[in-house]
Amino acid sequence: MRRLRTAILISGRGTNMDALVTAARDKEFPAEIALVMSNRPDAPGLARAKAMGLATAAVDHKIHAGREEFERSMQILLETYRIDFICLAGFMRLLTPWFIGAWSGRMLNIHPALLPSYRGLHTHERALAEGVKIHGCTVHFVVPQMDEGPIVAQAAVPVLDDDTPESLGARVLKQEHRIYPLALGLVASGAVRVEGNRVLGAVAANDRALTAPTVI
């Protein structure tokens, strides 16, 4: 089995990166982590990836003249490492249509909300402010529109009366760590297909729990 050479792009602590790296340690997993790249040279996740013996790269957006130049630097590295597939994991830079087009159908993102609700930032604060009873996370293909694109996997968690953004975020994060490796596994193995805005085959192909609400 040829494993997809996957790059994980991070900006910060990298706990989703950890979950993907752990899953990919299994030689049967259909993707291998061939590069961890960050736009922040001081990202804690980057140091951890290095300590784990993974190939790492920092492409500092601040020293590039603009978005395109920054992305071209990333693209050169992605080509150098012969990357097939990208997982955005807490990568906090907006990407241009050029970069997204270059990776169309080959780039996933994880978002800390049940899309299409709560696109953008501060999702846990906003979910609490709106009084929703169910919150969660989404893995989706990346398209030029921010936090849109065919959804591969979602997990839901209850919102509890005494939740703070931190406690709710921690409950969601646990589910992120569960569904991101599952989603990458589904896509990398070819178990799912994209039809328009829908990703089909996820439940039948793998884990019924993947799309079922998770009650904690």
Q: Which residues bind ligand GAR (CB under 6 A)?
A: 10, 12-16, 45, 89-90, 110-112, 173, 176
| 140 a catalytic residue | no
| Contact in structure between 53 and 13 (CB atoms under 8 Å) | no
Phi and psi at residue 107, to the nearest 5°:
-145, 125
Closest CB 203 distance from ligand GAR, rounded Å: 22
State the first-to-last Cα distance of the chain, in angstroms, to the nearest integer.
Answer: 36
**At closest approach, how far in Å is the CB of 19 from ligand GAR?**
8
Report the residue number, 63 or 94, with the smaller CB distance to ligand GAR.
Answer: 94
- How distant is the alpha carbon of residue 67 from its chain centre? 20
Active-site entry in 61, 111, 135, 140: 111
Residue among 74 and 89 whose Cβ is closer to ligand GAR? 89
Residue with smallest beta-carbon separation from ligand GAR: 90
- State in angstroms the smallest separation of the CB of 129 from ligand GAR: 17
- C-beta of 14 vs 149, nearer to ligand GAR: 14
Element (H, E) at 17: helix 15-24
Q: Which residue's CB is nearer to ligand GAR, number 12 or number 149? A: 12
Nearest to 7 by CA among 28, 38, 43, 41: 38
Residue 60: CB minimum distance to ligand GAR, A: 17
Please report how many Cα atoms fall inside a 13 Å half-sphere around the Cα of residue 25, on the Cβ side: 8
Closest residue by Cα to residue 157 from 165, 147, 146, 169: 169
Active site residues: 111
